């Protein structure tokens, strides 16, 4: 399979590859780009290969350096900025929840459990994740090896003493769920606040405290995630943008680049060229 790279500047590159595992895409990036606060609807497990970065995470501000394992959960608000003068280099596997379901089960926890460590400076964990990435790219994939390495990678990232679960644990859950169910809907602040039985002022404060984002930014992230799924399923970019609630394709592309570092066109070419639907 031919790799496709998008080069924004001479020092920046982002490569995305389909893998042997349905529901998993590998992204290799070397960049000085600072990413704005955003979320994904998938898990991410990766390794910083060079340089360093500082980022917000579900557990506060974290610093990741070369050799550290990094992870994120669906819906986790995060950003990222390089530390120092040069770029940082990371390689990340993005996996939809179904792709990790067996790995969670293999560790005796439910699929709603969160990965607990946004940064993990553990050599054995790094070796496991790098081995998993390599196994996913083998021309003749070894399913047994991939399954085993996934279970091991998840095991490193679980906090056995503090199982965290994704669920309706905040007062703005009805509004969050409404946006997630139909991100293209054009609901106003008053309507969302009424769903939660709160004034608009208290709703805004509670929503930001619960999600890390104001409602309009949260909706943009959910629209991006919906459009991304449609693009991977083969829908043309303009149609995916409209169906997800964006004003037009340019509006979609602008927000997508801010969150992912590459255009949705690259994602579309990846889906077409892989011969299979990775997500």
Q: What is the 3-state secondary structure (H, E, C) of the chain?
A: CCCEEECCCCCCEEEEEECCCCCEEEEEEEECCCEEEECCCCEEEEEEEECEEEEEECCEEEEEECCCEEEECCCCCEEEEECCCCCEEEEEEEECHHHHHHHHHHCCCCCCECCCCCEECCHHHHHHHHHHHHHHHCCCCCHHHHHHHHHHHHHHCCCCCCCCECCCCCCCHHHHHHHHHCCCCCCCHHHHHHHHCCCHHHHHHHHHHHHCCCHHHHHHHHHHHHHHHHHHCCCCHHHHHHHHCCCCHHHHHHHHHHHHCCCHHHHHHHHHHHCCCCC
Domain ranges of the chain: 4-156, 173-262+270-274
Mean pLDDT of the chain: 86
Query: Which regions of the chain are under pLDDT 50?
Result: 1-10, 162-166, 275-279
pLDDT at 217: 87
CATH numeric code, 173-262+270-274: 1.10.10.60
pLDDT at 10: 41
**What proportion of the chain, given as a percentage, has pLDDT over 90?**
52
pLDDT at 161: 61
**For the whole prediction, is pTM greater than 0.75?**
no
pLDDT at 274: 53
pLDDT at 66: 96
CATH topology for the 4-156 domain:
Jelly Rolls (2.60.120)
pLDDT tens digits, 151-184: 889 989 998 664 444 455 578 999 999 999 999 9
pLDDT at 168: 52
């Amino acid at each position: 399979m031919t790799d496709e790279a998008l080069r924004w500047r001479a020092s920046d590159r982002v490569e995305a590859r389909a893998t042997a595992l349905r529901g998993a895409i590998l992204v290799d990036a070397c960049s000085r780009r600072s990413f704005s606060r955003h979320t994904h609807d998938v898990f991410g497990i990766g390794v910083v290969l060079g340089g360093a970065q500082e980022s917000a995470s579900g557990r506060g501000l974290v610093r990741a350096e070369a050799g550290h394992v990094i992870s994120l959960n669906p819906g986790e608000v995060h950003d990222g900025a390089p530390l120092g003068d040069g770029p940082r280099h990371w390689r990340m596997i993005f996996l939809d929840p179904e792709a990790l379901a067996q790995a969670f089960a293999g560790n005796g926890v439910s699929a709603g459990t969160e990965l607990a460590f946004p940064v993990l400076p553990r050599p054995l964990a790094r070796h496991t994740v790098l081995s998993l990435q390599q196994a996913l790219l083998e021309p003749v994939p070894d399913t047994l090896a991939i399954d085993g390495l996934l279970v091991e990678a998840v095991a490193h990232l679980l906090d056995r003493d503090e199982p965290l679960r994704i669920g309706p644990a905040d007062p703005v859950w009805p509004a969050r769920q409404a946006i997630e169910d139909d991100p293209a809907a054009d609901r106003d602040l008053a309507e969302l606040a009424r769903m939660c039985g709160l004034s608009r002022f208290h709703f805004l404060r509670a929503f930001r405290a619960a999600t890390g984002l104001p409602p309009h930014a949260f909706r943009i992230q959910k629209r991006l995630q919906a459009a991304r799924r449609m693009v991977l399923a083969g829908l043309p970019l303009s149609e995916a943008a409209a169906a997800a609630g964006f004003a037009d394709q340019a509006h979609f592309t602008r927000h997508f680049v801010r969150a992912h570092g590459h255009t949705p066109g690259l994602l579309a070419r990846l889906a077409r060229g892989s011969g299979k639907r990775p997500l």
